Amino acid sequence: MLIKITIVDALRSSLSPLKSLAQPLLVQITSILTKRCSDGLLPVRSIPTQFRAMSNKRTPSEPSHFVSTIFRPVRSFFGGDGTALKDEYLKTIGGEIFENVCQRLVVFFLKPLLSADNLPDISNI
C-alpha cells in the first residue's frame, strides 16, 4: 500500500509543473480561435452594400450564407485536436470566444455609424 501512495505522489509532483502551463495555453487557444472565428465576420462588411444594391428591399428570412461558418473553428478544434479538453473547457472557452466575436460584430456595425461623415458638425453649435 505504501508503494502505491508513493507512485501516485510521484506522479502528482511530476505533473504539477505542467499544470502551470495549462492557463497560458488556454489563453493562447482562446486567442487563436477568437481570431479564426472573427475572420468569419469579414463578409459582414458587405451586407450594407448588398442591401443597397437590392431592388426589392425585403426583410431577410434566412441568415446569410457565412453565419454557419463563424464558429466552425471552435467546433473543429473541440471535435479534433482539442477533444480531450472538450468536457472541461468547451463551455468556458466557447463562452469567451462568443463574447469576443460578438464585440467585434458590434464594432463592425458601429464603425460606419460613428464615422466622421455621419457625426453632426459640432463647429456650428
Question: Does residue 103 form part of some domain?
Answer: yes
In a domain? residue 75: yes
Residue 23 maps to a domain: no
Alpha helices, DSSP H, located in 1-71: 2-39, 47-53
Count structural domains, the chain.
1
Q: What is the DSSP string of 82-114?
A: TGGGHHHHHHHHHHHHHHHHHHHHHHHHHHHHT
| Cβ atoms of residues 74 and 10 within 8 Å | no
Q: What is the pLDDT of residues 6-42, one digit of tens each?
A: 788 888 788 777 777 888 889 999 999 999 999 988 8
User: Considering the domain boundaries, does residue 26 fall inside one?
Assistant: no
Domain of residue 95 covers 65-116
57-105: per-residue pLDDT in tens? 777 788 777 888 889 999 999 999 888 888 888 999 999 999 999 999 8
